[in-house]
Amino acid sequence: MSRGDDPVVTEQTERKPDEGAVSDFVERFAAQFVEAGVARMPSRVFAALIASESGVMTSAELGEQLKVSPAAVSGAVRYLAQVNMVSREREPGSRRERYRVANNQWYEAIANRDQLLRAWEDTFRDGIAKLGPDTGAGRRLAETLVFFEFLEAELAGMMERWRTVRAEKFGESG
Protein backbone atom coordinates (compact mmCIF):
# COMPACT_ATOMS: atom_id res chain seq x y z
CA MET A 1 0.00 0.00 0.00
CA SER A 2 1.43 3.40 -0.89
CA ARG A 3 1.30 6.42 1.38
CA GLY A 4 -1.44 7.94 -0.78
CA ASP A 5 -3.66 4.85 -0.36
CA ASP A 6 -3.52 4.84 3.42
CA PRO A 7 -6.35 6.84 5.03
CA VAL A 8 -4.20 7.45 8.12
CA VAL A 9 -1.47 9.24 6.17
CA THR A 10 -2.50 12.34 4.26
CA GLU A 11 -0.62 15.20 2.68
CA GLN A 12 -0.05 18.02 5.11
CA THR A 13 -1.83 21.24 4.26
CA GLU A 14 -2.01 24.69 5.81
CA ARG A 15 -5.62 24.11 6.88
CA LYS A 16 -6.19 24.18 10.63
CA PRO A 17 -8.89 22.13 12.35
CA ASP A 18 -12.11 23.84 13.40
CA GLU A 19 -11.95 24.91 17.07
CA GLY A 20 -15.29 23.22 17.77
CA ALA A 21 -14.03 19.96 16.29
CA VAL A 22 -10.87 20.18 18.38
CA SER A 23 -12.91 20.83 21.53
CA ASP A 24 -15.23 17.91 20.75
CA PHE A 25 -12.25 15.58 20.23
CA VAL A 26 -10.53 16.79 23.41
CA GLU A 27 -13.57 16.18 25.59
CA ARG A 28 -14.38 12.81 24.00
CA PHE A 29 -10.83 11.48 24.27
CA ALA A 30 -10.43 12.91 27.79
CA ALA A 31 -13.61 11.10 28.86
CA GLN A 32 -12.20 7.83 27.50
CA PHE A 33 -8.91 8.45 29.29
CA VAL A 34 -10.85 9.04 32.53
CA GLU A 35 -12.66 5.73 31.99
CA ALA A 36 -9.21 4.11 31.69
CA GLY A 37 -8.28 5.44 35.14
CA VAL A 38 -6.55 8.76 34.51
CA ALA A 39 -7.79 11.78 36.47
CA ARG A 40 -10.02 14.22 34.60
CA MET A 41 -7.74 17.28 34.40
CA PRO A 42 -4.61 15.42 33.24
CA SER A 43 -6.82 13.67 30.68
CA ARG A 44 -8.11 16.98 29.33
CA VAL A 45 -4.64 18.59 29.25
CA PHE A 46 -3.13 15.58 27.46
CA ALA A 47 -5.99 15.50 24.95
CA ALA A 48 -5.60 19.24 24.28
CA LEU A 49 -1.87 18.85 23.70
CA ILE A 50 -2.20 15.86 21.42
CA ALA A 51 -4.91 17.63 19.40
CA SER A 52 -2.93 20.88 19.07
CA GLU A 53 -1.29 21.69 15.74
CA SER A 54 2.25 21.83 17.11
CA GLY A 55 1.92 19.49 20.09
CA VAL A 56 3.21 22.36 22.24
CA MET A 57 1.19 24.74 24.41
CA THR A 58 1.80 27.09 27.31
CA SER A 59 -0.10 26.96 30.57
CA ALA A 60 -2.02 30.08 29.52
CA GLU A 61 -3.01 28.52 26.19
CA LEU A 62 -4.14 25.31 27.88
CA GLY A 63 -6.08 27.25 30.51
CA GLU A 64 -7.79 29.37 27.87
CA GLN A 65 -8.71 26.41 25.67
CA LEU A 66 -9.94 24.24 28.53
CA LYS A 67 -11.42 27.14 30.53
CA VAL A 68 -9.53 26.18 33.69
CA SER A 69 -7.17 27.89 36.12
CA PRO A 70 -3.38 27.92 35.84
CA ALA A 71 -3.25 25.87 39.05
CA ALA A 72 -5.38 23.15 37.44
CA VAL A 73 -3.08 23.07 34.41
CA SER A 74 0.01 22.99 36.65
CA GLY A 75 -1.23 20.01 38.65
CA ALA A 76 -2.23 18.14 35.51
CA VAL A 77 1.12 18.78 33.84
CA ARG A 78 3.00 17.71 36.96
CA TYR A 79 1.21 14.35 36.82
CA LEU A 80 1.63 13.95 33.05
CA ALA A 81 5.35 14.73 33.25
CA GLN A 82 5.76 12.24 36.11
CA VAL A 83 4.29 9.45 33.97
CA ASN A 84 6.29 10.53 30.88
CA MET A 85 3.27 11.64 28.86
CA VAL A 86 4.46 15.25 28.37
CA SER A 87 7.72 17.11 28.68
CA ARG A 88 8.39 20.63 29.93
CA GLU A 89 10.59 23.12 28.14
CA ARG A 90 11.35 26.81 28.40
CA GLU A 91 9.91 29.09 25.77
CA PRO A 92 12.93 30.57 23.93
CA GLY A 93 13.77 34.00 25.32
CA SER A 94 11.19 33.70 28.09
CA ARG A 95 10.80 32.37 31.59
CA ARG A 96 7.50 30.77 30.62
CA GLU A 97 7.29 27.03 30.35
CA ARG A 98 5.56 25.25 27.58
CA TYR A 99 4.47 21.66 27.50
CA ARG A 100 5.12 19.22 24.68
CA VAL A 101 3.63 15.95 23.60
CA ALA A 102 5.82 14.10 21.12
CA ASN A 103 4.52 12.74 17.82
CA ASN A 104 5.62 9.30 19.00
CA GLN A 105 4.21 9.88 22.49
CA TRP A 106 2.57 6.47 22.88
CA TYR A 107 5.78 4.71 21.89
CA GLU A 108 7.77 6.72 24.43
CA ALA A 109 5.23 6.17 27.20
CA ILE A 110 5.14 2.41 26.63
CA ALA A 111 8.88 2.07 26.09
CA ASN A 112 9.55 3.76 29.42
CA ARG A 113 7.42 1.17 31.20
CA ASP A 114 10.17 -1.45 31.02
CA GLN A 115 11.91 0.18 33.99
CA LEU A 116 8.69 0.01 35.96
CA LEU A 117 8.18 -3.64 35.00
CA ARG A 118 11.71 -4.52 36.16
CA ALA A 119 11.16 -2.77 39.49
CA TRP A 120 7.88 -4.65 39.98
CA GLU A 121 9.59 -7.93 39.05
CA ASP A 122 12.24 -7.34 41.72
CA THR A 123 9.56 -6.57 44.29
CA PHE A 124 7.60 -9.71 43.40
CA ARG A 125 10.75 -11.87 43.60
CA ASP A 126 11.42 -10.46 47.05
CA GLY A 127 7.78 -10.98 48.04
CA ILE A 128 7.84 -14.61 46.90
CA ALA A 129 11.00 -15.24 48.92
CA LYS A 130 9.57 -13.59 52.05
CA LEU A 131 6.01 -14.95 51.83
CA GLY A 132 7.03 -18.40 50.66
CA PRO A 133 6.61 -19.87 47.18
CA ASP A 134 4.28 -22.58 48.51
CA THR A 135 1.74 -20.18 50.05
CA GLY A 136 -1.35 -18.87 48.31
CA ALA A 137 0.17 -15.37 48.29
CA GLY A 138 3.50 -16.70 47.01
CA ARG A 139 1.80 -18.55 44.14
CA ARG A 140 -0.18 -15.41 43.18
CA LEU A 141 2.99 -13.33 43.28
CA ALA A 142 4.83 -15.95 41.20
CA GLU A 143 2.12 -15.91 38.54
CA THR A 144 2.20 -12.12 38.48
CA LEU A 145 6.00 -12.18 38.21
CA VAL A 146 5.88 -14.56 35.24
CA PHE A 147 3.22 -12.36 33.61
CA PHE A 148 5.40 -9.24 33.99
CA GLU A 149 8.46 -11.12 32.67
CA PHE A 150 6.35 -12.20 29.69
CA LEU A 151 5.21 -8.60 29.08
CA GLU A 152 8.76 -7.30 29.27
CA ALA A 153 10.00 -9.90 26.76
CA GLU A 154 7.11 -9.28 24.36
CA LEU A 155 7.37 -5.51 24.67
CA ALA A 156 10.85 -5.40 23.12
CA GLY A 157 9.75 -7.25 19.99
CA MET A 158 6.50 -5.32 19.73
CA MET A 159 8.30 -1.99 19.91
CA GLU A 160 10.75 -3.06 17.20
CA ARG A 161 7.84 -4.08 14.96
CA TRP A 162 6.23 -0.66 15.61
CA ARG A 163 9.42 1.16 14.53
CA THR A 164 9.24 -0.73 11.22
CA VAL A 165 5.55 0.11 10.72
CA ARG A 166 6.15 3.76 11.64
CA ALA A 167 9.01 4.05 9.16
CA GLU A 168 6.87 2.51 6.40
CA LYS A 169 3.79 4.67 7.05
CA PHE A 170 5.33 7.94 8.17
CA GLY A 171 8.92 7.83 6.97
CA GLU A 172 10.21 8.22 10.51
CA SER A 173 12.12 5.90 12.76
CA GLY A 174 11.78 5.01 16.46
pLDDT of residue 1: 47
pLDDT band at 103 (very low <50, low <70, confident <90, very high): confident
Report the domain count for the chain: 2
Average of per-residue pLDDT values in the chain: 87
Which pLDDT tens digit goes with each residue over 138-164? 999 999 999 999 998 898 889 899 999
Cβ atoms of 65 and 99 within 8 Å: the answer is no
Verify that 91 and 23 share a domain, yes or no. Answer: yes
Q: Which residue range(s) make up the domain with 148?
A: 107-170
Verify that 82 and 130 share a domain, yes or no. Answer: no
Which pTM was predicted?
0.74
Question: Which of 101, 123, 152 is at the close of a domain?
Answer: 101
